[in-house]
Amino acid sequence: MHTDYTAIADTISTLLSEQADPEKSAKMAAYMKTTMPFYGVQAGQRTALMRPLWPQIQVASHLDYETLILTLWKRPHREEKYIAIRIARRFRNFIDFQSLPLYERLIREGAWWDFVDDIASNLVGGALAKNPDATWPVLDAWINDDNMWIRRTAILAQLRRKEKTDEETLFRYCLTCADEKDFFIRKAIGWTLRQYADTNPAAVREFLNHHGQHFSPLTIREASKRL
């Protein structure tokens, strides 16, 4: 059964438009510090909106997966892009190394934390979990990329790895970016170390004891919250 992805996207856009709330739209845009338009449809409403549509969406290949996601992603409103990422997460069979170029495009074009963090932890992190040998060389390149959001993604890709965290690589990535001044890099380092501290607090404590002088107070504060 072939799915008409443009028709699906049109339906989603129409449903979002029908629930549009200009007052919420203005507040959401102000919170996100963006000029990209919002419909003003919040997360719970988007979940409810998609529930009856899922049975209509068929994804049989990576090409289908990419086509569907980009059909929505290219639309102008932020909620359409949120749903595109939600679709990417739903079809887990296609969260793998082969989808990394798609995820990279979304990161570079999205270029803000509300998009990037979801993609980094759930999609790129999912590809890492499924195809680690193929994904690690990509992340090793990303940690030195000129694009800050790509570097942030390389750091956050292990956010949900827990006991499967590659500790040596995590610490190496943190040190690679330790001298950066950007808030989002400093925050990402602290956040990832804090998450790993739930699994191995002794290792994070030792790492900070040895290398803490290289990191900003923000990073140290974030990393130490659960120690």
> What is the CATH number for 181?
1.25.10.90
Q: Whole-angstrom Cα distance, residue 185 to residue 153?
A: 9
Same domain, 10 and 64: yes
169-198 in b/e burial notation, b at 16+ Cβ within 10 A? bbbebbebbbebeeebbbbbbbbbbbbbbe
Same domain, 23 and 115: no
Same domain, 85 and 3: yes
DSSP secondary-structure letter at 112? S
12-25 in b/e burial notation, b at 16+ Cβ within 10 A? bbebbeebeeeebb
Q: How many domains does the chain have?
A: 2
Q: From 48, 87, 60, 47, select the one nearest 2 (Cα to Cα).
A: 60
Q: Whole-angstrom Cα distance, residue 135 to residue 61?
A: 20
List, for residues 73-124, the tens digit of each pLDDT value. 999 999 999 999 999 999 999 999 999 999 999 999 999 999 999 999 999 9
H/E segment holding residue 103: helix 100-110
Mean pLDDT of the chain: 97
Same domain, 85 and 120: no
Could you tell me which residues come within 8 angstroms of residue 3 by beta carbon, excluding any fewer than 6 positions away?
56, 57, 58, 59, 64, 68
Last residue of a domain, one of 32, 65, 94: 94
213: number of Cβ within 10 Å: 9
Would 48 be classed as within a structural domain?
Answer: yes
Would 72 be classed as within a structural domain?
Answer: yes
Same domain, 138 and 68: no
Would 210 be classed as within a structural domain?
Answer: yes
Same domain, 70 and 117: no
Q: Whole-angstrom Cα distance, residue 164 to residue 196?
A: 10
Specify the residue for token string 């629930």. 19
Instruction: Tell me what pLDDT residue 3 has.
Output: 75
Instruction: Tell me what pLDDT residue 174 has.
Output: 98
Would 69 be classed as within a structural domain?
Answer: yes
Residues present in the chain in total? 227
The pTM is what? 0.96
Same domain, 70 and 182: no
SS3 60: coil
Token pair listed for 30: 């102000």
Same domain, 115 and 210: yes
Would 100 be classed as within a structural domain?
Answer: no
Last residue of a domain, one of 94, 126, 148: 94
Q: What angle do CA 178, 122, 61 make, to 5 degrees?
A: 130
Token pair listed for 25: 């739209």
Same domain, 154 and 199: yes
The alpha carbon of 123 is separated from its chain's Cα centroid by a whole number of angstroms, namely 7
Task: Identify the domain containing residue 115 by its residue range.
Answer: 111-227
* pLDDT beyond 60 at 1: no
Same domain, 78 and 179: no
Q: Whole-angstrom Cα distance, residue 176 to residue 20?
A: 44
Would 102 be classed as within a structural domain?
Answer: no
Percent pLDDT > 70 in the chain is: 99
Band the pLDDT of 207: cuts 50, 70, 90: very high
Same domain, 146 and 79: no
Could you tell me which residues come within 8 angstroms of residue 208 by beta carbon, excluding any fewer than 6 positions away?
193, 215, 220, 223, 224, 227
Instruction: Tell me what pLDDT residue 2 has.
Output: 61
Same domain, 221 and 124: yes
Would 101 be classed as within a structural domain?
Answer: no
Would 88 be classed as within a structural domain?
Answer: yes
| CA dihedral sign, ordered 115, 116, 122, 126 | positive
